[in-house]
Structure formats: structure tokens, C-alpha cells
Amino acid sequence: MTFNAVGQKIPKKDAPLKVTGQALYIDDLELPGMLYGKILFSKYPHARILNIDTSKAERLPGVKAVVTAKDFPPNFRIGFMKDNPPLKGNKVLSTRDEIAAVCAISPEIAEEACELIDVDYEVLPGVFDPITAMREDAPILHEELGSNVLKLPWKLVCGDVEKGKSESKYIVEDTFTTQWVTHCCMATSGCIAHFDINNNLTLYSNTQIPSLAQNDFLEALNALGLKNRRVRIIQVTIGGAFGSKLDTYPYEYIAILLALKTRKPVKIVFSRDEEFFATSPRQCTITKISQGCTKEGKLTFREVEMILDNGAYTSWGATTPSVMMMPISSLYRVPNVKYEAKCVYTNNTYCQAMRGYGNPQATFAIESSLDHLAEVSGIDPYDLRMINANQPGEITPQGFKITTCGLKECLEEVAKRLNWREKRGKGGGKRGVGMASLIHVGGGARVYKSDGCGTIIKMDDFGKVDVFTGATDIGQGADTVIAQIVAEELGIPVEDVNVIHNDTDVCPWDVGVHASRTTFVAGNSALYAARKIKARLTEIVSKILEIPQEDVEIRNGIAFSKSDPQKSIPVARAIRRAHFTTGGSMLMAEHFYDPNNENLGKDFKGNLSTAYTYGTHGVEVEVDTETGKVKILKYVAAHDIGRAINPLLLEGQIEGGALMGIGFALSERLIYQNGYLKNGNFLDYKILTVRDAVPVETVIIETDEKEGPYGAKGIGEPGLVPSAPAIANAIYDAIGVRIKDLPITPEKILKALKEKAGTGNKA
Amino acid sequence: MKKFDYHIPKSLEEALSLFKSLENAKYIAGGTDVLVNIKRKKESPSHLISLRNIDSLKVVEKKDGLKIGSCLIHQELLKIEEIRTYYSALYDALTKLGSKQIRNVATIGGNICNAAPSADTACPLLVLDAQVVIFGEKGTRMVPIDDFFEGPGTVAKEESEIVTSFELPSFPKYTGSAYIKHTRREAMDLAMVSAASRITFAAEDQSLLRDFLSSKGVEELDKELKNYPLFVKEARIALGVVAPRPFRAKKAESCLEGKFLNEETLREACEKAAEEAQPRDTIRGEAWYRREMVKVLTKRTILLSVKRAIEMCS
């Protein structure tokens, strides 16, 4: 099959706007009469609020409103478990708890006013790790719940793990831990709330979930006594999200409340400090894993127990164990699987979705453990992976129907490009190679009642197309990829397709940009809508050219007869003929695409996604054994993505993912001490800089997924999933020590080397 | 950010009299530290007096050593060939400070007067025996840089005084210096530990140095030391981050100075340097690790200095 628009390396449509500074972010947006909101956060991680005195703040000239918990209806709660009041009135449970908020005519006055609010606290003992939080004598955060363990029964059982153990010749057991890492979006969180004269709300937002956010805010308006109103979400240019904007947050409800009180637009934008401490990071995990294999290396079982630090409140992030089940049950063929996870409240920051949604934490444990198993069984880690690699057509223990699967090809490519056979185990105590693979949803993921996305499409008199999609562009390239799919289907140039993706008043419903689903789901939705409009168009052309409809072909904006290409008409002219005639018509179509995947059942089984994506990363490292520093010499990332709609953006996703993964593996962590964030700035939070970036050799394996738009599967998240275990495995190959606790810092390596050498550790 | 008035004097005298006449004033050069501190509410001056438009603070004089103006930005200093050739430790530091964007505004005078224990140019200036030239009401005075640093953020100058330049002596050809910054990242990072050294060999060893280079090359330096009895005439070792101020590890220096450089004296120097260090546990690094790194960096920086000295003689 040959393509015109699909497969083209087209730069992202809004890239020129971004690099020339013309793209408008929340921070750039000013509305007439707009006020600036600021939130007062808690001074303590756990305390009772005895009194809040806002009188001094209210008297400060320029202050237009001050709000506290009493301004929200009693018992108004937000979040996945409805455990989070947007403003806290009785108790604070973390240092990011919102106590009061002000809005004023300038950000400086708002900030000064916040400092004038006096809060009397009764400090309570806090609990800062999930193990302590589960003890009987631990302080209970949410007293009404009676326990710090969330009532979310994450448990998956497939086959019989005990039987699997009895069939094992080799068994390994290890415990792995991962840290808090944060998204580090270039643009910080923020919104502008604005009510019209009829109390309809417009929220300028950088949310990833416009339709679900609309639903959340409608609920809030209801609670505030504003029944039967409208909520319009307008998304500005979103400067990165990575899962951080996959929920609605207290600051948004506070902005809405302030706007309602003042009848003015109210903007709240986080400072970088606030972005670090008041947004939700990836959850840290403690994972006990054991797996076994036969003498020949066939995996027999995998058993995983996990504890997650939920933080003080519950967002969608508490559902990450449902995604962790995916690699635990279905990465490689393993017949017997058992997985249990507990999410535990602590007085730390509450956690949320972050690219990979739990998969990186789980895969770190699985793939590190697999290398351990390889060592114990004496089988080369690459061979062990090939023996157990997933294959097309299989149904995994969790019930995933694997359609296309390029895992073996990915493994082979990585081994070849790393020169695996020559290098493995031969690095002279300094150099080593390692690999790790991934499975992820690649055809949507039904985590909500619908996994759908709507598209409305119209063609104008000049042959240009407007596509109104439910999809959100958070920088990943939905604007460009959807244009390419529509252009391909209609036979018109990509630049003639305008994608509108930022306004709930005009764009149809979509569940949100998550689960690497946009190219697949929004792409299919756009494709089918384009197909409908194309049917109309070819019908019009067939009448004008007096040829059968099946004979009509459109290329580069010209419609012609396949059998007699002399007969042709520009598409624009054909449309005008249909438009400017008696009983004329316009070309418009719509489609709502909801993939044929399934919600997981009560047993957490079912075909979660319509297609699954695979990949393998391979790394060669050099370890400085005197300092413990790790240098990445080579990084190969092979991914089965079905079809590359836009190889340029695809490589960008993989490279960006891998760099995020390397940071997760080696340097990034939020340091919390007793509930306080200690490194909330870019100097001390060690995200990689461009000077640290290593070239990522991307390998694209096209398996042509039947259900995907032109064969494509999702790729938003996979790029960072296997980075950490691949690096950890390479380090082990180099120096013979396995670091089971992320990030793998020079200190941990040096300490482990000293312990191995028996020279003791001085820590 | 708290508001302040901004003044742009054209001469040292004007700057000084502004400082004297204004309440709660502070000098500012590149602003990469001062403005961050103001934003973080660590200080709140009412007046900032910019030193950036005073031409005399941007001098470069290449006579009997090198004199560099305090308001030269790091990226400009990188272009001075003499620094690269004769004051390599400083050159190393200039390439490692912040990022190119920072180096394009931050000045060397600012880096020194901010007096962070991790200041990148501090250790190199310490091993290069720099003199700090200071202008004030009583005229101009010189202070050896080793006496200039007093503690974290404090230096031996009146608030009204202005550091105008740094004077570096000229060293014999058979001299090498180096600076190593140990970081978690390649840019935009503070050192966990930093070390600089300078080694000046004896004049009579010049031919030996040449032989060394022609026979083995410098790659195998540490292994070959025992075959080449190189006499160290002068040794300087300075450490950053592992004390309240950047400092010279003088006991470590004395392990080398006036002695032959060999595996044993080198190891002693590294051990001594680690003893002299007073590292702390912070979120940026653990004390035990920092102490270990003092040993490693001291060794590496000395070997790099030796290598450069040898190369200078070739």
C-alpha cells in the first residue's frame, strides 16, 4: 500500500508558533477585568485547623475576595474517591493542602494578601511512609474511613501460582522500590475561570480531559447552587501534561469559586515552586516479586505484591495498579500470575497519573527480576526473553487478545544493534549491556464507561477541511497526525486540513488524552468521519463527471476518473457546484468511534485494549567504579507501533520517552522529608538537560494493526517504560551489582561496589 | 518579587557614591545569584546598583601574568587564549559553570563575591594564587584570594567596596593546573564536590618531562610515575563544597610540595585532602560519599595537572 500523507515526516503543525513565541499559554492570556488568584497552602503536613483569620488580607487594597472552606458547600469533595475538599476547613493532611485563597488586581497583591492570613494550627503527628501508615498505632488521616489503606481491592489471579512454583526449576525473589518523580511540564498548571451573565462557566484550561472536566465542574456548579448551567472548556496551548492534567484539582475549583464571588475572570497560574510541591507526582512503590522458570527457561509463574504511597488524597493515580496488572500478567508468556496491591494514605503529596501510568514501576521490577532469573538459570537474558516472547494471536492470562505483536523483532533488533553476543559479560568490569521490554495498550483502554472519541468534519467552498475532534493536543501531535489521516483519506494536501481540538462548545466528546490512545481512537474517529464525507464527495463528482462513483479517485485535491483520468475536476469546484445550486448542500459528516475493547471485570480480566504495543530498549553503559557514575554509551529503542503515521513525531515520542526514562532510572527524584519537599526546583530536581541527553537510536517495527487507522497503534507512553530496567541490567552486566532502588545514583553504586568488595560501607 | 530601584553608574566612583547615599543598596553584576535571592526572599534590597556599564571592570591585561576585570562574563573569559593555555584550571571551571545561557550573563566577580562553597571559579583562583583587587573609599587594595573567602556568602570586603579585578601571576612553563567538578548532571548543576590543583615542577626536570612524553605518553601517567622521579616544586590543591568556604587543602599540598611525585605521595595527598574536608550530609549529597570523592577528584585533578605540565614542555 502506498500513501501520500501517511508516513510523511511532517513537523508538528504548531511548532513554528511555539518556537517563535506566538503560541498562547494560560500565562499569556489576559481577559478584561481579570483578577489574579493565589492559594495559601498549609504550613504543616498534618494538623488541625483551629482558626483562620482573613481580616487583614481582606483589608489590603486591591484584594477583591478571600475564600476559605466555608465558602464551599459543606461536604463538597473532589477526586476519584471524593476524599478531597478543595479548601480544607478542619484538618490539613499534607503541606500542599489548600487553606484559603485570595484574588486581587495584581499577582503581587494576591501574594501579599496570602501572607496576611493567620492560621492557628494544632500540629498532629504525621505518617510519611506507607509501611508505617499501615501499623495499628499509626495516625489515621481520614478518620471517617477508619484505616489508611484505601478500599481499592487490587487483586489479579490467573492460573495457579503454587502449581507454577512446583513446576519451577529456578525461582528468584527480589524487592524493588521506586521514587516520586514529577512531570516537569514546561508550562505550569493554571486556569482562568469566568462566568457570563447567566452564570454559565467558561474555563480556560490546560486539561487533558476536557469532557470529563466539564462533567466535574458541572457537578461543582450544582453543589454551588447553580443548577442546569453550561460549562465550556477552552484549552489553550498546553505546555506539556504527561498525565498531570488527567484530573481536576483544587486550584481549578478555587478559581471557579473566586470568579463566582467577584463576577470577574480569575486566573490562577502556579509558580514553578508551586508546580513542584502542589502537583501530583508518580507514585512511589515497594514491589516484592518472584518468578520462576523451568530448566529450559519457560516461565512458570509470576507473583507480585505491591504497596503504593497514595499520599493524602486520592486521584485517578490510585488506579495505576490496574495498568500494572498488564505487564505483570502479559509481558512475556507466563501461565500463572498473582498480583496484589495496596494504596496507602500518608501525609505526603498525593499522587497522580504520569506517562506509563504505573507501567514503568511494574516493568522495573519484572525486567530486573527476569535478568536475575536468567543468571540463576544460566540462560542468557536475551535468550530467556526470546523463549518467552509474546506472539501474535495469543490470549494472555488476563484475557488480552494479542493481535499484532512485534516483540521478537524488537528483541532481535536490539540484540543486533547492541552487538549483544560479543558484548554481554565482556565489559572488563566497567562496561555492560542490558535490555528490557514492554507491553502497553496500543488500541485505547476502556477505563471509563466509554473509550470513544467524536469527530465532526466539514469541507468549505475552497476544498479546505475543518476537523472538529474531541482529541486533545498536549504536545504529542494530535493536531498533525489527525490532519494526515484525514488528508490521506480525502486525497487532499495535509496543509488543507485544519484540526480544531480545544473547545467543548464545538468539539465532540472524548474520554481524554491518556493510555496512548489518541492516534488510535481519535485517528479512527477522524478516519471514519472522513470516509463518510468522501462518500458524499465522490457521489457529487460522479454526477458531475458522469462516471460511476467507484471510478472516482481524489488525489492532491483533484477528483478524476480512474479509468479515464482526462475526466477531472478540482474538489473545490465540485463542492461549489453542490453548494450553489437549487436545494444545495454542504459537505459535513460526523463519527463517534468507540473501540471494541472491554472494561476489566471484577476479577480484573478482560480485553482492555483493542491492540497492544510492544518494545524493547537496549543500553550499553560504562560505570566509573571510583565515582559510581554511569555513562550511557548507546541507547537503542525498538518499538512495534503498527504503522508510523508520522515518523518524525513518532521518533520524538520515543526519544522524549527514553530521556524521561533515563531520568527516572538515574537521577530524578522528589525528596520529601517528613512531608516537606526539599528539592522543589530545577537545580536540585535532576531532570536531564540537553547536555545529558544521549542519542536514542529508534527502530520502528511496523506490524500493520488491522483495527488501527492505516495500521497504527499508540506510542505516547511506551518510550519510557523499559528504560530503568534496561539500564539497571546493563549496570549489573558491567559491575556485578544490582541496584533495586531507583534512582540508581552514584552513591548507591559506590556503596554496593564497596559491599561487594568487602571493604565495608562508610555510610 | 519585591520592587527595587535600579541604578546604572558609569564609573567606580559614581557606583561607590550611589551606594553610600542610598538606603539598603546592593551591587549587582550578572544578577544570576542576586535576582534569584530576591525572588526567593532571601534578601530584599531597595536599590540595585549595576556594575555592568563600568568599563574599567572589563579590562584584560596580559603583562606579567593576567589581569581580568571582575565584570567580564564567563563566556567572554572563555575566549581569552591565555586562560586556556596557562590557567587551565580556570578554563575548566568556565566551561562547567551553569549553562551557556548563565555564562552569557554571569560574571566572574559575581561568582567570587557570592562566595558559595560550590563557586566554580573559586578553587581555580585559589590554586592559581590570584590576588583580588578591591576598590573602596580608601582607594585600591589587594587581597590574596585565600584570605578573601571567609564563609558561605561572606568575603573580606566592606559592603560598599567593589571587586574590580583578579590578578594571576605568571607561572613557569613546566606548570599544569586542572579543575574537576563532580555533578549529577552535565549542565545547570552545582558541584557535589569540586577540586582544583596546580603542579609546578622544577626547572631542571624539563628534559625529564619531555622524555616522559616521548617514551610513554601521558595516558599511562599514574602507572609510569615510579619510573620518572619528578620533583614537585610547588603544589596547590583546593576543594569546593566540602567546607563552609572553598579552601586550600594545605596538608595535602605539603605531601607533594618539595617531594618527588609518586604513587605513595599522591595517595598521601589524597588521604590528607579527605581528612581536611568537612563534608556534610545534605539533599545534594551524602558526607561519606563526598569524602570519598575528595580522594578521587584530588587524584584525578593532580594527574591532569601533571599531564598538562608535561604537555606544556613538549
**Model confidence pLDDT, tens digit, residues A483-492:** 999 999 999 9
Residues A502-542 have pLDDT tens digits of: 999 999 999 999 999 999 999 999 999 999 999 999 999 99
In whole angstroms, give the CA distance from residue B8 to residue A154. Answer: 65
DSSP letter string over B5-28? EEE--SSHHHHHHHHHHSTTEEEE
Q: Does A757 touch chain B (CB under 8 A)?
A: no
pLDDT of residue A426: 96
Distance CA B163, CA B140 (A): 9
Q: Do B283 and A679 touch (CB under 8 A)?
A: yes
Which residue in A144, A152, A140 sits closest to A77, CA to CA?
A144
Cα A17 to its chain centre, rounded Å, is: 24
Nearest to A683 among B1, B188, B292 (CB): B188
Question: Measuring CA to CA, which residue among A87, A99, A115, A110 is closest to residue A34?
Answer: A110
pLDDT averaged over every residue in chain B: 94
Kindly report which listed range (A182-186, A480-484, B124-128, B224-228) carries the lowest average pLDDT score. B224-228
Instruction: Name which of B284, B288, B293 is nearest A763 (Cβ-Cβ).
Output: B288
Q: Using a CB-CB distance cutoff of 8 angstroms, which residues of chain B are in contact with residue A684?
A: 283-284
For residue B210, the distance in angstroms to the closest alpha carbon of chain A comes to 30
Reported as a single tens digit per residue, the pLDDT across A378-437 is 999 999 999 999 999 999 999 999 999 999 999 999 999 999 999 999 999 999 999 999
User: Is A150 within 8 Å of A317 (Cβ atoms)?
Assistant: no
Q: Min CA distance, A762 vs chain B (Å)? A: 6
- State the best of A273, A670, A672, A747 to mutate against chain B, taking most chain B CBs within 10 Å: A747
To the nearest whole number, what is the mean pLDDT of chain A? 97
Element (H, E) at A479: helix A478-490
Section B172-198 average pLDDT: 96
Residues of each domain in chain B carrying CATH 3.30.43.10? 5-50
What local confidence, expressed as pLDDT, does residue B248 receive?
98
Contact A578, A587 (CB under 8 A): yes
**According to the model, what pLDDT value does residue A587 have?**
96
The enclosing H or E element of B235 equals strand B230-240
Give residue A760's pLDDT band: very low, low, confident or very high (50, 70, 90). low
Residues of chain A with CATH 3.30.365.10: 285-390+402-445+600-757, 452-593
Residue of chain B whose alpha carbon sits nearest to that of A108: B1
CB pairs under 8 A, 24+ apart, for A50-55? A50/A120, A50/A121, A50/A122, A51/A118, A51/A119, A51/A120, A52/A99, A52/A100, A52/A117, A52/A118, A52/A119, A52/A120, A53/A117, A53/A118, A53/A119, A54/A100, A54/A117
- What is the value of pTM for the model shown? 0.97
Q: Where are the CATH 3.90.1170.50 domain residues in chain A?
A: 34-124+188-236+245-277
As annotated, the residues of chain B forming the CATH 3.30.465.10 domain(s) are 56-168
| Residue ranges of A 667-686 with Cβ closer than 8 A to chain B | 667, 671, 673, 678-679, 682-684, 686
Q: State how beta strands A231-235 and A201-205 pair.
A: parallel
Query: Å from B79 to nearest chain A CA?
Result: 21
Q: Are B89 and B198 in contact (CB under 8 A)?
A: yes
For the cut 90, the answer to whether the pLDDT of residue A470 exceeds it is: yes
How close, in Å, is residue B289 to chain A by CA atoms?
6
- From the list B184, B284, B292, which residue is nearest A667 (CB)? B184
Q: Which is it for strands A453-459 and A465-469: parallel, antiparallel or unpaired? A: antiparallel
Question: Cell triple for residue A600?
Answer: 476489566
Contacts for A608 with CB less than 8 Å, ≥ 6 apart: A326, A398, A400, A441, A445, A446, A447, A597, A598, A599, A600
Q: Is A755 on the interface with B (CB under 8 A)?
A: no
Confidence of residue B218 (pLDDT cuts 50, 70, 90): low
CATH 3.30.365.10 corresponds to the domain A452-593: yes
Could A678 and B283 be called an inter-chain contact, meaning their C-beta atoms sit closer than 8 Å? yes
Question: pLDDT grade, residue B204 (50/70/90)?
Answer: confident
pLDDT in tens, A587-616: 999 999 999 999 999 999 999 999 999 999
| Chain B residues with CB within 8 Å of chain A CB | 1, 99, 182, 184-190, 283-286, 288-289, 291-293, 296
The pLDDT of residue B216 is 65
Considering CB atoms only, which of B1, B186, B289 is closest to A691?
B186
Instruction: Provide the percentage of residues in chain B whose pLDDT is more than 70.
Output: 97
The pLDDT score that the predictor gives to residue B209 is 75
Return d(Cα B211, Cα B215) in angstroms, integer.
6
CATH number assigned to the domain covering B56-168: 3.30.465.10
CATH 3.40.228.10 fits B5-50, yes or no: no
Name the residue facing A684 among B187, B284, B291 (closest C-beta).
B284
How does residue A763 score in pLDDT terms, banded at 50, 70 and 90? very low
Question: Does the beta carbon of A745 lie under 8 angstroms from any beta carbon of chain B?
Answer: yes
Q: What is the pLDDT of residue B217?
A: 65
Q: CATH number of the domain at A285-390+402-445+600-757, please? A: 3.30.365.10
- Closest residue, chain A, to B296 (C-alpha): A626
Contact A689 B284 (CB under 8 A): no
Q: Mark yes or no for CB contact B288/A762 under 8 Å.
A: yes
Q: CATH code for A34-124+188-236+245-277?
A: 3.90.1170.50
Q: What is the pLDDT of residues A13-29, one digit of tens each?
A: 999 999 999 999 999 99
* pLDDT tens, position by position, A162-196: 999 999 999 999 999 999 999 999 999 999 999 99
CA distances to A38, A87, A89, A97, A125 from A50, rounded to whole Å, are 22, 15, 9, 15, 16
SS3 state at B68: strand
Closest residue on chain B to A684 (Cα):
B284
Inspect the interface and report whether the beta carbons of A671 and B284 lie closer than 8 Å.
no
Q: Which percentage of chain A shows pLDDT scores above 70?
A: 99
For residue A314, which amino acid is it? T
Distance CA B276, CA B269 (A): 10
Residue A679: list chain B partners with CB under 8 A. 283
CATH code for the domain defined by B175-312? 3.30.390.50
pLDDT, average across residues A112-117:
98
> For B115-259, where are the alpha helices, taking DSSP H only?
122-127, 145-148, 206-215, 221-224, 250-256
Closest residue in chain A to residue B193, using alpha carbons only: A627
Residue A532: CB atoms within 10 Å? 18
